[in-house]
Structure 1
Amino acid sequence: MQHSEVIIERRGTAGIIRLNRPRALNSLTLPMIRALAEALQGFASESDVASVVITGEGERGFCAGGDIRALHESARAGNDLAGTFWREEFRLNHMIAVYPKPYVALMDGITMGGGVGLSSHGRHRIVTERTRLAMPETGIGYVPDVGATWLLPKAPGEAGTWLGLTGLDIGAADAIYAGLADLQIASSRLDAVIDALCHLPRASVSSEVDALLQGFSEPLGESRLRQNVDVIDRAFSFDSVEEILAALAKEEGDFAAETCRVLLSRSPTSLKLALRLLRVGRRSASLAECLRRELGACLQMLDNPDFFEGIRAAVIDKDRNPKWSPASVEAVTAETVERFLKPAEPPLSL
């Protein structure tokens, strides 16, 4: 089956899904979300399918996230494409998290935003030496979504807070350290991995898939997050962005200085809202609870000037010089943050 932007095939006992927008780093459109959901539902019902593999076409990325230009245009036009996209994307994320068959995500190259949602909720998450993973939303006036407020608080210490607020990209070792991936396999061996999965017995279970993947795994390099765990945990343990910035200013070394510089370049409103969502996510009982909360925040973002300004600066004018409003974290009030926590209507059905 081909949906042009998504290629779906059965090969042996594997169901294979290929994101097929390589020139756009396989960024997601609403038709792609729908094609993915249809494919997963179909493979789940086929008794001859032992596992499902998702990968991205091209050599640069697995998936760079949602097509933010399309979301920007939708919001400007006042239609409901953005809201519909988020609702269906979040349902897909939840489907992946509870999928009844082994789901193998090959996170080769750029894996950001919605790409993390397609992979890190899965049962078998593979990274390579080319993986660059990030939740970069605070840099475009948005917030980590696709269930990130469920995933990131589960990272060791405050590593997830660092990832969610800075939006900086990390490599394979850091992705595994943060609990967003499981194994590193060389990109040159991914075709062999897929071929091996195609030859599994149709009644194979996750432990057998794990054993197969372990046979291809390679040693990890150094984790930058692990190396800087003390600084991260000291600075990001606070529940206000102002305190985090003050703590970073007291730390010595390039890592703290770079982190502080990056935070000061992000949308102040996004930073405060992201921190609030991450902290509430830490206390949440389920992914579904976090997704519902995130959807409410996302829909409120459509009235936030930083959302339009961030996308303008990143992908439309590409001047990389957003003018945030308010321009400082001190000017973002608790009342401003609170209005983003309005529940979505109607609630997200999962």
Structure 2
Amino acid sequence: MTDADAEPTVLARASGGLGQLTLNRPRAINALDLGMIRLAHEALDAWEHDTEVDIVLLDGAGERGLCAGGDVRGLAERVNDGRAEETAQFFREEYALNARIAEYPKPFVAFADGITMGGGIGVAGHAAIRIVTERSQLAMPETRIGFTPDVGGTWLLGRAPGRVGEYLGLTGAVMDASDAVYAGFADHFVPSENLDGLRDALETRADPSSPTELVLLFDETPPPPKLAEARAWIDDAFAAETVPEIVERLRALSADRSLSERQRDETRATADLLGELSPTGLAVTLASVRRSRELPGLRDALAQEYGLVMWFATTQPDLPEGIRAQVIDKDRSPRWTPATLAELDPDAAASALAFQPETPLWD
């Protein structure tokens, strides 16, 4: 599959022992479609047993980011047309790529420079060495479209410190480089102006230094993470058992004079945001992140997410409605079903977690 300029939408080239994999849909901030996923698999197939390739590097074309996520317009079309098997096929191949990156037998380095969200986390967040820059913007924003974090995002969210995972998963908050390292979504901060130098070092290394040792030559200490400053109120509010109770705690904290004015504003804004998002998406996301925390591995988290995304895609109106409101019509006025947390079936999350797709994720 190619973009308007007729170039492949994934560029794969090997030089000096470095296999470079570049997502190449810059006009769409390299959003993933099925063709790109297959091209990435083909390159990894070719390099896995190629003795001339020692390291794999993933980056994105253009100045805006590594990857803005998956092709949600295409997802909405498949859901609205009732093409469940095509939807399932996309997720199966995407999740296989996510797992493969995590398990790849050669060092896998990802440059999460610029926007890296949703499906972008799936290809960068499970790499062996994850690089962020001062331009990085990382997020799992699925609740904004009435959906739930996937691509192994709940595996990462479940292992973030304290209740940061619940906070990031429910709100879809954007992390800068400092927050991404703090939350466990990245490993190293490298200024964007040094990425070319790091890329050259990985390709032309004159000694058998490990990729990590080379990265450390370019690594710098990022500023203090904002998430660390907010941990006290995040841990307090997002430890509550249900989403309505989280909102209730946030409202109470917004009136707590022991907090700074900025913290009170943050808790108030967070409560307001949760009141605007899909009640179903929020409840399922909270349950999914917490259950992922108890799972033994990434593949188990991906299997859980696969069941959830197929539950949304085949039984829930909020997913296509959220994509319509945020991406297609852009009226930012989704009509959720149900409309409020008070109207949500208390067993909704349990029903979602119990859902069994017709075609399993792993054969």
Q: Same fold (TM over 0.5)?
A: yes
- 8 Å Cα contact 1:13/1:200 also seen in 2: no
Can you list the C-alpha shifts for 1:199-240, whole angstroms capped at 9, x where unaligned? 2369x57xx111100111122112110001100100111221
Q: What SS does the aligned partner of 1:97 have?
A: helix
Partner of 1:345: 358
Percentage identity across paired residues of the two chains: 43
- 8 Å Cα contact 2:88/2:359 also seen in 1: no
Partner of 2:257: none
1:106-145 correspondence to structure 2 within 5 Å: 106-145=111-150
Q: What SS does the aligned partner of 1:334 have?
A: coil
Q: What SS does the aligned partner of 1:311 have?
A: helix
What displacement does 1:44 show?
1.3
Pick the aligned partner of 1:210 from 202, 209, 212.
212
Pick the aligned partner of 1:5 from 5, 9, 13.
9
CA distance in 1, matches of 2:58, 2:170: 28
Pick the aligned partner of 2:332 from 298, 310, 320.
320
CA distance in 1, matches of 2:282, 2:167: 11
Partner of 1:67: 71
What displacement does 1:336 show?
2.5
Q: Does 1:310 align with 2:322?
A: yes
- 8 Å Cα contact 1:14/1:197 also seen in 2: yes
Q: Does 1:14 align with 2:18?
A: yes
Q: After TM superposition, where is structure 1 displaced by more than 6 Å over at least 4 residues in a row? A: none
CA distance in 1, matches of 2:150, 2:179: 20
Q: What SS does the aligned partner of 1:126 have?
A: strand
CA distance in 2, matches of 1:164, 1:25: 22
- 8 Å Cα contact 1:127/1:184 also seen in 2: yes
Partner AA of 1:237 in structure 2: A
What displacement does 1:328 show?
1.0
Partner of 2:224: 222
- 8 Å Cα contact 1:50/1:200 also seen in 2: no
What displacement does 1:50 show?
1.2
| Runs of 5+ consecutive residues of structure 2 not aligned to the other structure | 255-263
Partner of 1:77: 81
CA distance in 2, matches of 1:236, 1:339: 22
- 8 Å Cα contact 1:109/1:132 also seen in 2: yes
Partner AA of 1:214 in structure 2: L
CA distance in 2, matches of 1:86, 1:334: 27
- 8 Å Cα contact 2:283/2:348 also seen in 1: no
- 8 Å Cα contact 2:112/2:131 also seen in 1: yes
Q: What SS does the aligned partner of 2:202 have?
A: helix
What displacement does 1:260 show?
1.2
What displacement does 1:81 show?
2.5
1:1-350 correspondence to structure 2 within 5 Å: 4-79=8-83, 80-200=85-205, 204=208, 208-252=210-254, 253-302=264-313, 303-341=315-353, 342-349=355-362
**Higher mean displacement: 214-223 or 88-97:** 214-223
Partner AA of 2:221 in structure 1: P
What displacement does 1:12 show?
1.0
CA distance in 2, matches of 1:332, 1:191: 50
For the aligned residues, what is the CA RMSD? 1.4
- 8 Å Cα contact 1:310/1:322 also seen in 2: yes
Can you list the C-alpha shifts for 1:20-79, whole angstroms capped at 9, x where unaligned? 000001000001011111111211111121100000000011100101001111111222
Q: What SS does the aligned partner of 2:91 have?
A: helix
Q: What SS does the aligned partner of 2:347 have?
A: helix
Partner AA of 1:289 in structure 2: D
Partner AA of 1:104 in structure 2: V
What displacement does 1:344 show?
2.5
Q: What SS does the aligned partner of 1:106 have?
A: strand
Can you list the C-alpha shifts for 1:101-139, whole angstroms capped at 9, x where unaligned? 110000000000000010111100000000010000001
Q: What SS does the aligned partner of 1:228 have?
A: helix
Q: What SS does the aligned partner of 1:129 have?
A: coil
TM-score (norm 1): 0.96
State the aligned residue count: 346
**Higher mean displacement: 71-80 or 129-138:** 71-80
CA distance in 2, matches of 1:227, 1:337: 31
Partner of 2:261: none
What displacement does 1:192 show?
1.2
- 8 Å Cα contact 1:141/1:267 also seen in 2: yes
CA distance in 1, matches of 2:356, 2:194: 45
**Higher mean displacement: 38-47 or 170-179:** 38-47
- 8 Å Cα contact 1:50/1:201 also seen in 2: no
What displacement does 1:337 show?
2.4
Partner AA of 2:266 in structure 1: F
